Amino acid sequence: MINIAVTGKRFGHAETLMDEVLAGACSGTIPLYNSMIRFCCSQKRLFSRSFDVYKKMQRLPDCKPSLETYTMLLNAVLRKFSKLNICYAYLHAVRSLLKQMKASGVIPDTHVLNMIIKAYSKYLQMDEAVRIFRKMGLYGCEPNAFTYSYIVKGFCEKGKVKPGLGFYMDMRDKSLVPTSISYITLICSLAMEQMFEDAINILFDMLANSMSPDLLTHKTLLGELCREGRGNEALELLEELKNKDVLMGEKTYNNLLREVHFRSQD
């Protein structure tokens, strides 16, 4: 009935039904409680209620939280991550959920482990992110493109570009393709560390995988080359990009050309 109410967008009725279940109006089942948690997670104002349902679920003898339960709760927590000072409060919730999941004997899958790695990486807790990464095999899980992308981006944002580059190379050796934002973050980080050969190679790898850098990425790489007195190389690179980047229009090209000429005069 809760699912029917939610599907019909009768959210007030769904909330009333949920209150009745929590008050003991009927015996609880895992699908029923997961439906309530799914409903709470879909409504921002009911975020805290999802954990009330979860705690009630933990106390029931035949209705223990399942992998789906933890997946929904972790998804809801990660949606709360934004600024670092806000991340810290919710990172504790991620740690707690992982600890409780392990204690209850629920085996995480790749998706859940990726969410945990993403949480640690967003808060720049890279030692913790890598620790989870190293343990994936113990759960019978293989890292995928998202796993590596979160770690690459996290290392770069922490200012540790070399480990980020190492994970990028590892994933490419496995024919895994980074996400666009991970490509962009790595290219910009390498450029700012004057690791131009790596930055340019990765830029062309990005293009080869049908993704185009944004204007800021182009400006960062070309600008850093100019700042190091390599304006001619920047011009040559820009011409090559014009031919290879199908999304680089004339307006963008002219914008970047002016930028290179301006930076070369500094």
Q: Which two tokens stand for residue 197?
A: 């050969």
Cβ proximity of 81 and 47 under 8 Å: no
Residue 191, pLDDT score: 98
Residue 193, pLDDT score: 97
Residue 264, pLDDT score: 76
Residue 88, pLDDT score: 66
Q: Which two tokens stand for residue 26?
A: 């009927």
Helix axis angle for 145-158 and 180-192, nearest 10°, is 30
Q: What is the pLDDT along the chain (266 residues), one digit of tens a residue?
A: 566 656 666 666 677 777 777 777 677 789 989 998 998 998 888 888 999 999 999 988 888 999 999 999 999 999 887 655 555 678 888 999 999 999 999 999 999 999 999 999 998 999 999 999 999 999 999 999 999 999 999 999 999 999 999 999 999 999 999 999 999 999 999 999 999 999 999 999 999 999 999 999 999 999 999 999 999 999 999 999 999 988 888 999 999 999 898 887 76
Residue 7, pLDDT score: 64
State how far the Cα of 89 lies from the Cα of 93, in Å rounded to an integer: 7
Q: Residue 174: helix, strand or coil by DSSP?
A: coil
Q: Within 13 A of 216's CA, how many CA atoms are on the CB side?
A: 8
For the chain, what is the total number of helices (H) and then of strands (E)?
15, 0
Tell whether pTM > 0.85: yes
Residue partners of 256: CB distance under 8 A and separation at least 6: 215, 218, 219, 222, 238
